[in-house]
Amino acid sequence: MDQSLIFDLELINRYDKAGPRYTSYPTALELHSEFSESDYRQQIELSNRNGGPLSLYLHIPFCDTVCFFCACNKIITKNRQHAEPYLNHLIGEIQLQAELFDQNRPVNQLHWGGGTPTFLNASQMQRLMQATRDYFQLYSNDQGEYSIEVDPRETDSQTIAQLRELGFNRISLGVQDFNPEVQKAVNRLQSKSQTFAVLDSARAQGFRSINVDLIYGLPLQTVDSFAETLDQLIEKSPDRFSIFNYAHLPDKVKTQRQINAEQLPLPAVKLAMLQMIGQRLNAAGYVYIGMDHFAKPNDELAIAQREGKLYRNFQGYSTHSDCDLIGLGMTSIGRIADSYLQNTKDISVYAQRISTKQLAIAKGLLLTEDDRCRRAVITQLICHFYVEFLPIETEFSIIFADYFANELAQLIMMQQDGLLVLSNDKIQVLSAGRLLIRNICMVFDRYLVKKNQQFSKVI
Ligand SMILES: C[S@@+](CC[C@H](N)C(=O)[O-])C[C@H]1O[C@@H](n2cnc3c(N)ncnc32)[C@H](O)[C@@H]1O
Ligand code: SF4
């Protein structure tokens, strides 16, 4: 596959409108409160009939200090006592949910996200993993894809060793930017030495895939300052980089109001940053996976993409397409059979529901056949930059050219602009279209028309 990226400012300006990141389709905005517990139980029955491995996502919401840019679902507290009751409820939910699923289904994928999972202390992490092992079929031979998000400010080499011992084999480090002025502007002071110490420990402990999160578009960043951060990290040779575009939505994310908008880099500077990122990572041997993600060619994401087996879920790109995902913890999102569902965002409601042995679902969505068909097209495009019509036609009993006649007509303009090639049997995205992949996916999104203003821009 052609891995190159083309940075055409005129094209990007023309197409760069707000759009979803398609970690699901329909997006989480479509979830509604009419979705009931009985809907969920029906979907679990279907899921158990289909069988197959499971994926678990556990949400640990706490952070010690706030990073002003952060759009994650988190609770800021210096009080470590808050973790204990939450942990008890999380373990309660694990038990409640596990009882609904067939016991023989192995957990191929496990992810602890946050917030900051390592806000938990060593014995709390041990208890959480043990409870998960008690109620679900976790592998003990390192065969599963078990990953954790780690804030290097909240971790040391002892914790990394413990995480490996608990069964984690993939790790993601939040870094964002090393420049001291940028760090001050976003209230995240994090030294290179503490970051590298954690990265070195993870490698020494045999973590199979080490990812680094960076953000471009933060206040006071320049192309040169961000290049410096990137070069220092490239030297350390992590397996993957997730380089997110900072989404400044102060109306929606309160803490972002503490960021001085005048200090944000202009769109042209952000584009130059993106170009620099693409060039440097390419020169260092990383391939562009898509949507902010880069990986070494021998990383499992790059391999899955070459083999046509890449998938996208709420944690980003993934190699496990076939797993139903159980979300555990407040705000967590699951995907079971033909549904998506999300737990309550209110920690006290979560506690009350679980302590009275009820599930904590706040909203959900049953997918229609049309949703499933569009999801298949969008997932294929965003993961592999092409979609062949025949597999979609076979799976959904449609004639692609008829069913998507309107959408294909809309793509003609993108073809004329060199973003993609339309043929009788497939859509192939070209280099110039790779950075604009979500704009291409948006053509297939039936829900979008009314929602544009709620998403961040692509670049
Ligand atoms: C849950 S945090 C990672 C774990 C840990 N809390 C930490 O910060 O190291 C997930 C990642 O989301 C990204 N992120 C958060 N808010 C963002 C925003 N507004 N725009 C772009 N990326 C963002 C950051 O790169 C962050 O590392
Ligand atoms: S970026 Fe990570 S540490 Fe910072 S507030 Fe968000 S979740 Fe917490």
* pLDDT tens-digit map of 308-359: 899 988 888 888 767 899 999 999 999 999 999 999 999 999 999 999 999 9
Pocket flag, ligand 1, residue 151 (CB < 6 Å):
yes
pLDDT above 90 for 1: no
Separation between Cα atoms, residue 69 and residue 338, nearest integer Å: 34
pLDDT in the model for residue 459: 62
454: pLDDT strictly greater than 80: no
Helices H / strands E in the chain, number of each: 17, 20
Calculate mean pLDDT across residues 175-204. Answer: 98
- For 364, phi then psi, to 5°, come to -170, -170
CA of 387 to the centre of ligand 1 (A): 31
In this structure, the residue with its CA closest to atom 21 of ligand 1 is: 246
| Atom of ligand 2 minimally distant from the CA of 255 | 5
3-state helix, strand and coil shares in percent for the chain, rounded to the nearest 5: 45, 20, 35
pLDDT for residue 253 is more than 80: yes
Q: What is the mean pLDDT of residues 4-9?
A: 74
Category of 285 on φ-ψ map: left (φ > 0), alpha (ψ -120 to 50) or beta = left
Q: What pLDDT, on the 0 to 100 scale, is given for residue 2? A: 57
Q: Could you tell me the distance, in angstroms and rounded to a whole number, from the CA of residue 147 to the centre of ligand 1?
A: 16
Pocket probe for ligand 2: among 74, 153, 259, the residue whose CB has the most ligand atoms within 8 Å is: 74
- Identify the residue whose C-alpha is closest to ligand 1 atom 20: 246
Query: What pLDDT does 314 receive?
Result: 84
Ligand 1 binding pocket includes 96 (Cβ within 6 Å): no
Residue of the CA atom closest to atom 23 of ligand 1: 70
Please say if the pLDDT value at position 303 is more than 90: yes
C-beta separation of 144 from 108 below 8 A: yes
| Structure confidence by residue, pLDDT tens digits, 159-173 | 999 999 999 999 999
Residue 339's contacts (CB-CB under 8 Å, 6 or more residues apart) are: 35, 39, 40, 43, 364, 365, 366, 367
pLDDT of residue 16: 74
Task: Please state the φ and ψ torsions of residue 404, each to the nearest 5 degrees.
Answer: -110, 35
- Residue pointed to by tokens 């005129």: 10
pLDDT at 456 > cutoff 70: no
Which residue's CA is minimally distant from atom 8 of ligand 1? 174
The pLDDT confidence band at residue 6, using thresholds 50, 70 and 90, is: confident
DSSP 445: -
Residues facing 150 on adjacent strands = 173
Q: Is the CB of 330 under 6 A from ligand 2?
A: no
pLDDT at 419 over 80: yes
Whether the per-residue pLDDT at 47 is higher than 80: the answer is yes
Contact present, 160 and 201 (Cβ < 8 Å): yes
Select from 59, 72, 173, 245 the residue to mutate for testing ligand 1; criterion: most ligand atoms less than 8 Å from CB.
72
Question: For 90-134, how does the pLDDT look when each residue is reduced to its tens digit (9 = 90+)?
Answer: 999 999 999 999 999 999 999 999 999 999 999 999 999 999 999
> Among 1-15, 17-31, 126-140, 434-448, whose mean pLDDT is lowest?
1-15
Residue 116 CB less than 6 A away from ligand 2: yes
pTM of the complete model = 0.95
Q: What is the mean pLDDT of the chain?
A: 94
The band of 14, judged by pLDDT with boundaries at 50, 70 and 90, is confident
Q: Identify which of 269, 366, 302 has the alpha carbon closest to the alpha carbon of residue 43.
A: 366
d(CA 246, CA 248): 6
Residues 6+ positions from 279 with CB-CB distance below 8 Å: none
User: Which residue has better confidence, 175 or 451?
Assistant: 175
For residue 63, give the 3-state DSSP assignment. Answer: strand
Alpha-carbon distances of 254 from 87, 159, 204, 257, 268, rounded to whole Å: 27, 32, 39, 6, 26
Question: Most distant CA pair in the chain: distance in Å?
Answer: 61
SS3 9: helix
Ligand 2 contact via 163 beta carbon (within 6 Å): no
Q: Write down the pLDDT at residue 111.
A: 97
117 pocket-lining for ligand 2 (C-beta < 6 Å):
no
Backbone angles phi, psi at 126, to 5 degrees: -60, -45
Give the pLDDT mean for 26-31: 95
- Whether 381 has a pLDDT exceeding 70, the answer reads yes
Residue 247 is predicted with a pLDDT of 85
Measured in Å, residue 152 CA sits from the centre of ligand 1 at: 13
Q: Is ligand 1 within 6 A of the CB of residue 116?
A: yes
pLDDT band at residue 248 using 50, 70 and 90 as cut-offs: very high
Average the pLDDT over 84-92 and give the result. 98
pLDDT exceeds cutoff 60 at 445: yes
CB of 72 sitting under 6 A from ligand 2: yes
Among 392, 298, 430, which Cα is nearest to 3's?
A: 430
Position 428 confidence tier, pLDDT thresholds 50, 70, 90: very high
Residue 455 pLDDT: 61
76 Cβ inside 6 Å of ligand 1:
no
Note the pLDDT of residue 452: 53
Q: What is the pLDDT of residue 3?
A: 62
* Tokens linked to 159: 């914790």
Give the pLDDT band (50/70/90) at residue 457. Answer: low
Mutate to test the pocket of ligand 2, among 59, 66, 68, 72 (most ligand atoms within 8 A of CB): 72
Is-contact 365 334, C-beta < 8 A? Answer: no
Q: Is 174 in the pocket of ligand 1 (CB under 6 A)?
A: yes
Q: Is 190 in the pocket of ligand 1 (CB under 6 A)?
A: no
Which stretches of 296-368 are DSSP H helices?
300-306, 347-355
Mutate which of 160, 244, 294 to test ligand 1's pocket (most atoms within 8 Å of Cβ)?
A: 244
